């Protein structure tokens, strides 16, 4: 998919850095599937989401303050239009994360970590469709990579008789929202400071989740203490690191390419579910991992070939 929004040349040498950021984000998110499930023994979905995103925002706050102080001394004040764009971007992406993470959290109550990883990963084929609706062109390599990744996810997480249980329906709705979030960041991230946008996104999601938690759930301090590890891990690793790395990585990767790379999250989720929760890892699952990695390679090689052609090599 051609990133008409980015302003970065296709042969930008920082593409490898962007891919690494996205893979590290997958590591953070994939391992968080385990604590998302175990936290449900103590907390409601909105309470857990709100508290962990609040912790993530607080983790980022000193870094954002340092960034702003550094810029104040070396750069002129940001124009009002830039500030307005940042506030609007934080509100939009924060709302999408709020919807996506809570739909996922509700779905995981009655679904396994592996199956949740597969259904959430369906956004890999939704992102190119969104690109087509926006007038962007998806190359054959990206479509093939997406299909390979989707087939790998199926083998990885669905054993037999795939049915859309109530929890799966919530996860599927979340996948559509995540596709919109990935696509939106593909357009917004190159225009804005990654760290500040990640902070604004986390803060908006935290405030919305906590507002719903107060209205619908009964957050109690003793329950939060019981889920302290799940909250800290989810807040610092998944939100503070994972979402910041995603915003940074999408500065240098198209939305479609980013979506395929981030399918590695499902591999991590299944491995973590197997190791920590005793979910079975089969030969079929290992084959799925191989197909997903093939999809990532196909997408990367297709983009590398496009860069060589555009440079006349």
Non-local (6+) Cβ contacts of 24 within 8 A are 241, 242, 245
CA 214/CA 209 separation, integer angstroms = 9
Residue 75's domain comprises 19-310
Confidence (pLDDT) at 5: 30
The stretches in the chain having pLDDT less than 70 are 1-14, 73-81, 157-165, 300, 303-313
Whether residue 9 is contained in a domain is answered as: no
Confidence (pLDDT) at 139: 77
Whether residue 128 is contained in a domain is answered as: yes
Token couple for 51? 């508290």
Whether residue 5 is contained in a domain is answered as: no
CA 128/CA 125 separation, integer angstroms = 6
Whether residue 1 is contained in a domain is answered as: no
What would the pLDDT profile of 52-84 be if each residue is shown by its tens digit?
999 999 999 998 998 888 877 665 555 656 788
Q: Look at residues 259, 241, 235, 236 and name the one whose alpha carbon lies nearest to residue 194.
A: 241
Contact 255, 131 (CB under 8 A): yes
> What is the total count of domains within the chain?
1
Q: What angle do CA 253, 152, 277 make, to 5 degrees?
A: 100
C-alpha 267: how far from chain center: 14
Whether residue 305 is contained in a domain is answered as: yes
Whether residue 11 is contained in a domain is answered as: no
Whether residue 10 is contained in a domain is answered as: no
Non-local (6+) Cβ contacts of 80 within 8 A are none
Whether residue 284 is contained in a domain is answered as: yes
What would the pLDDT profile of 13-34 be if each residue is shown by its tens digit?
447 788 889 999 999 988 988 8
């Amino acid at each position: 998919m051609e990133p008409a929004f980015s302003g970065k040349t296709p042969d930008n040498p920082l593409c490898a850095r962007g891919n690494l950021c996205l893979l590290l984000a997958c590591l953070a998110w994939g391992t968080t599937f385990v604590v998302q499930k175990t936290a449900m023994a103590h907390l409601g979905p909105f309470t857990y989401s709100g508290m962990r995103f609040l912790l993530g925002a607080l983790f980022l706050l000193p870094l954002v303050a340092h960034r702003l102080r550094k810029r104040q001394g070396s750069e002129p004040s940001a124009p009002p239009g830039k500030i307005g764009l940042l506030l609007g971007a934080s509100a939009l992406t924060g709302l999408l994360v709020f919807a996506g993470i809570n739909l996922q959290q509700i779905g995981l109550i009655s679904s396994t970590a592996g199956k949740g990883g597969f259904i959430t990963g369906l956004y890999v084929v939704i992102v190119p469709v969104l690109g087509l609706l926006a007038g962007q062109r998806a190359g054959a390599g990206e479509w093939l990579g997406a299909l390979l990744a989707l087939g790998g996810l199926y083998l990885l997480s669905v054993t037999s008789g795939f049915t859309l249980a109530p929890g799966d329906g919530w996860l599927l709705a979340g996948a559509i929202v995540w596709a919109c979030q990935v696509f939106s960041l593909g357009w917004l991230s190159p225009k804005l400071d990654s760290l500040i946008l990640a902070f604004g996104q986390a803060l908006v999601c935290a405030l919305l989740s906590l507002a719903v938690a107060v209205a619908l759930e009964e957050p109690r301090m003793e329950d939060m203490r019981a889920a302290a590890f799940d909250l800290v891990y989810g807040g610092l690793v998944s939100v503070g690191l994972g979402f910041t790395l995603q915003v940074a990585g999408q500065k240098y990767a198209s939305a479609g390419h980013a979506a395929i790379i981030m399918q590695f999250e499902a591999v991590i989720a299944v491995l973590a579910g197997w190791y920590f929760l005793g979910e079975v890892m089969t030969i079929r699952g290992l084959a799925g991992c191989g197909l997903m990695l093939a999809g990532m390679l196909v997408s990367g090689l297709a983009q590398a070939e496009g860069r060589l052609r555009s440079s006349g090599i």
